[in-house]
Amino acid sequence: MCGIVGYVGHRPASDLLLDGLSRLEYRGYDSAGIAVVEDREIAVRKRRGRVAGLIELIESHPVEGSIGIGHTRWATHGDPSDVNSHPHLDESGRVVLVHNGVIENHDRLKARLSETGCGFRSSTDTEVVAQLIGWHLEQFIESGHAADDPETCWSALRATLDELEGTYGLGVLFRDCPGHLWAARCGSPLVIGVGEQEYFLASDTSPLIGYTRDVVYLDDHDTARLGRDEIEVRHRDVGTRDVAVQTIQDEAVDVELGEFPHYMLKEIYEQPDSIRSAMRGRMDGDDATAVFGGLNADAGELRRIDRIVLTACGTSWHAGLVGEYLIEEFARIPTEVEYASELRYRNAPLTDTTMVFAITQSGETADTLAAVRECRRKGHKTLAICNTVGSTIAREADGGIYLHAGPEIGVASTKAFTSQVTVLALLALYLGRMRHMSFRAGEAFLESLEAMPELVARTLECHDAVREVARRFADCGNFLYLGRQYNFPVALEGALKLKEISYIHAEGYPAAEMKHGPIALVDERTPSVFVTPRGGVYEKVVSNLEEIKARGGPVIAIAGPDDERIAGLVDEVIPVPDVPEFLQPLVTSIPLQLLAYEVALLRGCDVDRPRNLAKSVTVE
Ligand code: M6R
């Protein structure tokens, strides 16, 4: 949450900072700001609201200089206001910084600094960091250190970081040391872009696209100093460390909207391709199995596994639940999906033969990262199923599988879900084929999977039908989403999509559980969305559906093509192609994504930037 950018080089910093902030806006959009240093003067421009508002402000009040920092905020401490916007200055005006993370001991530090006479302007935890660096800087200067010596700045920064509890990614400028930009990381991601006589700083690689592909990832407890021609990285315990420059691959490139009005819609429509990419190079027809390059686990180790824990948050957790069903059905390995925020604190009894997979689109989700660290600390092999190459979880896990879905910018996750399900299906096949699954069954599995991109493309043809349904029900205040077996996680996911982008209350349930309580909610203004394609539990779901109809509740059904029986029972049908049950989530999730999208549009909601949310949840 919150996006940070920085620049030092030979070009006008404000242009680059604003461009970078526009690309990072999905991380938070409560406010935006930049600071630029020129001739030992710090110029700050910031304001509540979107980056577009900041751009207007800078058009009327431009800033000059080729070194600067910028920030787009998702508010944690202090309301979204101009004064709480980043960058924050210290009282002396010598230090300015941007921050992503949470400073847990900010109250104590603020009280101590206030006793020394320090006056605070904002109610943020971040200003405490700026003031504390300023205070340490003052001490160093008073004891004879030169304000324009980079070592003095390092020392003030280090002394401050040693006092902080919590998480931070920081970009810092010192007025009296104007050729340098500092960065510090603990728990919030930062990446440095390496250009020709210029360096970039960012929360992730998206602002670097088009400027450089060469990057340096900072690790926790790293601080970095960037000058136009130089970079130095110091680690808390070891001092200056080697800087490993990596080259990012093409897949980070497509972040343009193209012909689509919203990223969410673009990403929904990308799913035939993103599912294809998740399968590319991973289907082994000769042995009727899957292949994975980066698992870092040999066949013997994988055969010894007798339990799998999948851990994740939000949509990735829903994909994990599909994974649980897939792995148990095809590999017969007991599997549980755990909320990362629960797993990390509950001291689950994992054994040497338990394998943990963290599922995450961003690779930066704080709870998932903490669960990964906790499992690894206890010696359990922990692998990642992740979309974002070079993200913290991808780098810290013992190995893993990339989704190759391309950047997902819409806050509501769509293509990541179907790519996660695809990868989990391949994993189930791989683990199954190492155990009892026959060659023939493996072949049939692969054949079904291979057909999915085309079937998903056909599923998208339901968009017009979905629009009609949205028009009819967009003003309802509650929705139920119901499905069984593989479509139970889909019901959960459909409800989450509707909640997060249209702000309508929605509940996802296993269809049969509805009689154990939620059915009390049913009335003529509460639609139930039944996910009921043909399959083993079809009859059971139809009975549940009739129970709702009998009580006067409107029913929308996601059903197989030409399902006259369902059509005769329900208020609206959205058809999806017939596919094998274990792959149904790949098609049944699509109309639910579209439904959430269309309802949100009709209600005038900001689809790509829903209120109170951010794309990467990097706080606990
Ligand atoms: O990046 P991750 O997959 O770790 O993110 C997990 C959740 O924060 C995320 O799926 C969230 O629930 C989405 N906004 C749902 O659309």
Q: What are residue 478's DSSP bridge partners?
A: 505
Pocket test for ligand 1, best of 264, 311, 617, 618 (most atoms within 8 A of CB): 617
> Residues with beta carbon inside 6 Å of ligand 1?
313-316, 360-362, 365, 368, 411-413, 496, 500, 616-617
Q: How far is the CA of 404 from the centre of ligand 1 (A)?
A: 17
Q: Please check whether residue 255 is in contact with residue 407, taking contact to mean a CB–CB distance below 8 angstroms.
A: yes
Question: Rounded to whole angstroms, how far apart are CA atoms 326 and 221?
Answer: 39
Instruction: Say what the pTM is.
Output: 0.84
Q: Tokens in use for 567?
A: 């059509």
Note the maximum CA span of the chain. 86
Q: Tell me what the mean pLDDT of segment 435-446 comes to.
A: 97
Q: How far is the CA of 583 from the centre of ligand 1 (A)?
A: 21
Can you spell out the DSSP letters for 16-47?
HHHHHHHHHGGG--SEEEEEEEETTEEEEEEE
Query: In this predicted structure, what is the pLDDT of residue 237?
Result: 80
Q: Domain boundary residue among 450, 475, 502?
A: 450
Query: In this predicted structure, what is the pLDDT of residue 250?
Result: 54
Instruction: Identify the band that residue 1 occupies on the pLDDT scale cut at 50, 70 and 90.
Output: confident
Q: What are residue 47's DSSP bridge partners?
A: 32
Query: In this predicted structure, what is the pLDDT of residue 252?
Result: 46
Same domain, yes or no, for 239 and 255? no
Q: How far is the CA of 420 from the centre of ligand 1 (A)?
A: 12
Instruction: Identify the band that residue 254 occupies on the pLDDT scale cut at 50, 70 and 90.
Output: low
> Does residue 455 fall inside a structural domain?
no
Residue 179 belongs to a domain with what CATH number? Answer: 3.60.20.10
Q: Tell me what the mean pLDDT of segment 95-119 comes to.
A: 94
Taking only the tens place, the pLDDT of each residue in 80-97 is: 899 999 999 999 999 999
Q: Please check whether residue 468 is in contact with residue 572, taking contact to mean a CB–CB distance below 8 angstroms.
A: yes
Is pLDDT of 280 > 60? yes
Q: Give the list of residues 6+ apart from residue 22 with CB closer than 8 angstroms, or none.
A: 51
The single residue of 46, 381, 415, 615 carrying the catalytic annotation is: 615
Full strand arrangement of the beta sheet holding 88-89: 88-89, 95-100, 168-174, 181-186, 222-227, 230-235, 239-241
Query: In this predicted structure, what is the pLDDT of residue 183?
Result: 98
Question: Rounded to whole angstroms, how far apart are CA atoms 147 and 254?
Answer: 43
Full strand arrangement of the beta sheet holding 505-510: 505-510, 478-483, 528-532, 555-559, 572-575
- Cβ-based neighbour number of residue 179 at 10 Å: 17
> Does residue 163 fall inside a structural domain?
yes
Any catalytic annotation for residue 2?
Answer: yes
Ligand 1: which atom is nearest the Cα of residue 411? 14
> Does residue 23 fall inside a structural domain?
yes
Same domain, yes or no, for 404 and 437? yes
Is pLDDT of 163 > 90? yes
Same domain, yes or no, for 187 and 275? no
Same domain, yes or no, for 202 and 291? no
Is pLDDT of 186 > 70? yes
Query: In this predicted structure, what is the pLDDT of residue 620?
Result: 74
Query: In sequence order, which ranges of 397-537 are alpha helices (DSSP H)?
Result: 415-433, 439-450, 452-459, 463-473, 487-502
Whose structure tokens read 């338990």?
354
Whose structure tokens read 């989700």?
365
Residue 551 belongs to a domain with what CATH number? Answer: 3.40.50.10490
Any catalytic annotation for residue 615?
Answer: yes
> Does residue 617 fall inside a structural domain?
no
> Does residue 616 fall inside a structural domain?
no
Q: Please check whether residue 490 is in contact with residue 585, taking contact to mean a CB–CB distance below 8 angstroms.
A: yes
> Does residue 542 fall inside a structural domain?
yes
Q: How far is the CA of 363 from the centre of ligand 1 (A)?
A: 10
Q: Give the list of residues 6+ apart from residue 478 with CB closer than 8 angstroms, or none.
A: 504, 505, 506, 507, 521, 525, 526
> Does residue 87 fall inside a structural domain?
yes
Which protein residue has the closest C-alpha to ligand 1 atom 14? 412
Taking only the tens place, the pLDDT of each residue in 295-314 is: 998 889 999 999 999 999 99
Q: Please check whether residue 482 is in contact with residue 444, taking contact to mean a CB–CB distance below 8 angstroms.
A: no
Whose structure tokens read 């072949």?
443
Same domain, yes or no, for 350 and 426? yes
Same domain, yes or no, for 266 and 235? no
Same domain, yes or no, for 220 and 265? no
Distance of CA 4 to the CA centre of its chain: 16
Is the pLDDT higher at 379 or at 65? 65
Q: How many domains does the chain have?
A: 3
Q: Please check whether residue 511 is in contact with residue 541, taking contact to mean a CB–CB distance below 8 angstroms.
A: yes
> Does residue 614 fall inside a structural domain?
no
Q: Please check whether residue 85 is in contact with residue 38, taking contact to mean a CB–CB distance below 8 angstroms.
A: no
Same domain, yes or no, for 479 and 378? no
Q: Domain boundary residue among 402, 429, 450?
A: 450
Q: How far is the CA of 316 from the centre of ligand 1 (A)?
A: 6
Is the bond into 453 cis (omega within 30 degrees of 0)? no
Same domain, yes or no, for 256 and 320? yes
Same domain, yes or no, for 35 and 150? yes
Same domain, yes or no, for 273 and 416? yes
Domain range enclosing 332:
250-450
The single residue of 2, 118, 186, 462 carrying the catalytic annotation is: 2
Same domain, yes or no, for 283 and 222? no
- Cβ-based neighbour number of residue 330 at 10 Å: 23
Burial of 434 (C-beta count, 10 Å sphere; 0-12/13-18/19+):
middle
Q: Domain boundary residue among 248, 273, 304?
A: 248
